[in-house]
A = this chain, B = another copy of it.
Amino acid sequence: MKKKAVCILSGGMDSATCAYIARQQDYEIIALHFDYQQRTMEKERACFELLCNDLEVINKAVLNVDFIAAIGGNSLTDKSLSIRENNLNKDELPNTYVPFRNGVFLSIAAALAQKENASDIFIGVVAEDSSGYPDCSADFISKINMAINSGTGENIKIHTPLVNLSKSEIVCKALELQVPLQFTWSCYQSNDKPCGLCDSCLLRKKGFEKVGIIDPIL
């Protein structure tokens, strides 16, 4: 019997590539998507559904985590803050930081994994170019993995196959695995055409430029 993995799938390029890595490793995929009133919620949700079809997932869950907007304090959900642009290479935490978002997402993924008897969780965190979010570090992933196993009584493994890759390496990996990049979305700000100015657009652009190919969503 194939092993099952919960794959957190936002609709972005990183999490999509991560899920295709899980499929390549022969896992049956349970796709997990979060809606939290982020500015690009509709576009990300549409990409999620298209990716699920292409991935032939065995199960999927779209969970409403609006409470993240209720906690607030970040510009992805709080429309009174503007998304700070061109923040790369700055030291302070950008205002797109959602407090402990990956901690919340991985805890929910662990609950779903326990319910579904899945032995593995895949999450597309990237340490180097993730604007310095502390909940993207390898140290954090290792610690939350220990907490999950203690708190569930299971032996679940969190996989972060992208953690040490650069954006251009992720683009290469996606091409290798035939990830349908036209079904992914990275912009923090816009639901139709990528703004080209937010951190996430800038990182994606740099990645494609370095590889020397055209981004299919442009």
Partner of A100, one of B93, B107, B137: B107
**Stoichiometry, copies per complex:** 2
Asked if A110 is at the interface of the complex by the 8 Å CB criterion, the answer is: yes
User: In chain A, residues 33-67, which have Cβ atoms closer than 8 Å to a Cβ of chain B?
Assistant: 61, 63-67
Question: How many angstroms from the CA of A148 to the CA of B146 in the assembled complex?
Answer: 12
Q: Choose one: B93, B99, B140; the contact of A147 (CB below 8 Å).
A: B140
Decide yes or no whether A112 CB sits under 8 A from chain B: yes
Secondary structure type dominating chain A contacts:
helix
Known interface pairs A111-B71, A115-B72, A134-B152; A143-B146 also in contact (CB < 8 Å): yes
- The docked-state distance in angstroms from the alpha carbon of A104 to that of B17 is 26
A36 to B73 alpha-carbon distance, docked (Å): 23
* B-contacting residues, A57-115, CB 8 Å: 61, 63-68, 70-73, 93, 98-104, 106-108, 110-112, 114-115
Contact indicator B100/A114 (Cβ below 8 Å): yes
Contact A70 B63 (CB under 8 A): yes
Give every chain B residue within 8 A of A165 (Cβ-Cβ): none
Q: Does A144 contact B (CB under 8 A)?
A: yes
Known contacts A63-B70, A64-B66, A146-B143; is-contact A151 B103 (Cβ 8 Å): yes
Whether A192 sits at the interface, judged by CB under 8 Å, is: no
Given contacts A71-B111, A143-B146, A146-B143, contact A151 B64 (CB under 8 A): no
Which residues does chain B contribute within 8 Å of A104, judged by CB atoms?
Answer: 104, 107-108, 111
A114: B residues at CB distance < 8 A: 73, 99-100
CB distance from A35 to the nearest CB of B (A): 10
Q: Mark A142-169, 1 if CB is under 8 A from B, else 0.
A: 0110111011110000000000000000
Bound CA span A71–B30, Å = 12
A139: which of B103, B106, B139, B150 is its contact (CB, 8 Å)?
B150
